[in-house]
Amino acid sequence: MVKKYKLIARIILLLIVQFNYAQVGIGTTNPQATLHVQGNVRVTNTNNTTTSTQLLGNCAQGDITSIKVGDGLLLKDNELTASGTGTPTKYKIANISIVTSAPNQNFDNVNLDLSGVNSDIVIFRMGPLHNYTISGISGGTDGRHLIIYNSSAVNLTINSMSSLTPANNIDTLGSSTSTSGVGTIEFVYDGTLSKWIVINIRN
C-alpha cells in the first residue's frame, strides 16, 4: 500500500512539474514559448476605456515584447502623438582645436572624426585666434547632422563648393557665408549629391 501511495505521489509531482513548464502550441506541434501561435491572432471586445501605458511589438522570431515610447512622443488616452511633452533631444558637444597662424587661413577637408570618437557628437565648438575659413568637411554620410559653433569673436567663413575633395564640398546655396563673430552654422550631408548643405546660420 505504501508503495502504491509513493507511486501516486510521484505521478502527481511529475504532472505538476510538466504543468508548470508546459508550452502550448496553436497551429504548431513544436511550441517555443509558453503560448506559441502559428498564424494570425484576432482580439475582439477589448476594453478601450483602460488607459494604455506601453506599446507592444514583435521581433523577427515572433516574440511579443514591450516597446519604449521615445523622446518627443506621447502615449495618452490610448493615442500616440508626436506633439507630446517628451524629453527634448540632447545634443552632445565636443571641442575642436583649430589653430590659425595668420588671419583668414583656409581649412579644407576638416577632419571631425565623424565615424570615430565623435560619431555621436552634433555640436562642434571652435574658437581660434584669427578669422578663418572652412572649405570642406570630411567623413560625411547621408543624413549626418552637425553644427559648428564659432565661440570666439573672430569670423568663420564657409566657402561654397570649393573643396579639393568633391565629396567634402559644402553648398551654402549661394555665395560664401560667414558668421559675424560668435555664431553657429548648421549642416546636413546629402549622400545622393555627396556634399554638405548649409541649412541654418545664426549670429
* pLDDT tens digits along 79-101: 767 655 555 567 899 999 999 99
Whether residue 31 is contained in a domain is answered as no
Residues 161 and 65 in one domain: no
53, pLDDT greater than 90: no
Number of domains observed in the structure of the chain:
2
| Predicted local confidence at residue 120, as pLDDT | 92
| Predicted local confidence at residue 5, as pLDDT | 60
Tell me the pLDDT band of 194, cut-offs 50, 70 and 90.
very high
pLDDT (mean) for 48-70 = 71
Residues 156 and 186 in one domain: yes
Of these ranges, 7-16, 17-26, 169-178, the one predicted with the greatest mean pLDDT is 169-178
Whether residue 147 is contained in a domain is answered as yes
Whether residue 175 is contained in a domain is answered as yes
Range of the structural domain that residue 196 is part of? 93-202
* pLDDT tens digits along 130-173: 999 999 999 999 999 999 999 999 999 999 999 999 999 999 99
186, pLDDT greater than 60: yes
Tell me the pLDDT band of 17, cut-offs 50, 70 and 90.
very low
Mean residue pLDDT of the chain comes to: 83
DSSP state letters, the chain? -HHHHHHHHHHHHHHHHHHHT--EEES-SS--SSEEE-S-----S--TTSPP--EEEE-TT--EEEE---TT-EEETTEEESSS-PPPPPPPEEE-----SSTTEEE-SB---TTTTTTT--EEEE--SS-EEE-BBS---TT-EEEEEE-SSS-EEE-SS--SSGGGBEE-SSS-EE-SSSEEEEEEEETTTTEEEEEEEE-
Of these ranges, 29-43, 64-78, 175-189, the one predicted with the greatest mean pLDDT is 175-189
Whether residue 176 is contained in a domain is answered as yes
pLDDT (mean) for 97-122 = 94
